[in-house]
Amino acid sequence: MRIVCAVAFGGVYLHESYAIYPVELDAKTEKSQEIHSGLTDREIDVLRHVALGCSMKEIAALLKISTKTVDTYKNRANRKLNLRSKTDIVKYAIKSGWLN
């Protein structure tokens, strides 16, 4: 799964054993999700990367923020959405269309 986070430009992909669909990270999708869920753009970015299997360190490097900040965004988003586990995050990401 680490290869998912290695792709920094042009899209993010799940490992072939799960899917071969590109995940678009566009501002329009982020804005619509922010309206519906109350999440900020950064919280959405962090949850998307968590759902794709990235580590906190990898997410921090991709977003150019500290791992502590990544953890803060993740925790805030989890509280807002009442998510309790990584499985919940992945389910939410699938339901939101982030992994299509």
Of residues 81 and 28, which shows the higher confidence score? 81
Can you give the CATH number for the domain in which 72 is found?
A: 1.10.10.10
Region 18-46 average pLDDT = 61
| Average pLDDT across the chain, whole number | 76
86: containing domain: 2-96
Q: How many domains does the chain have?
A: 1
Phi-psi region for residue 97, left (φ > 0), alpha (ψ -120 to 50) or beta?
Answer: left
Least confident of 10-14, 60-64, 79-83: 10-14
Of residues 13 and 60, which shows the higher confidence score? 60
Query: Is 46 in contact with 73 (CB distance < 8 Å)?
Result: yes
50: tokens are 């968590």
Region 52-60 average pLDDT = 95
Rg, Å, the chain Cα set: 12
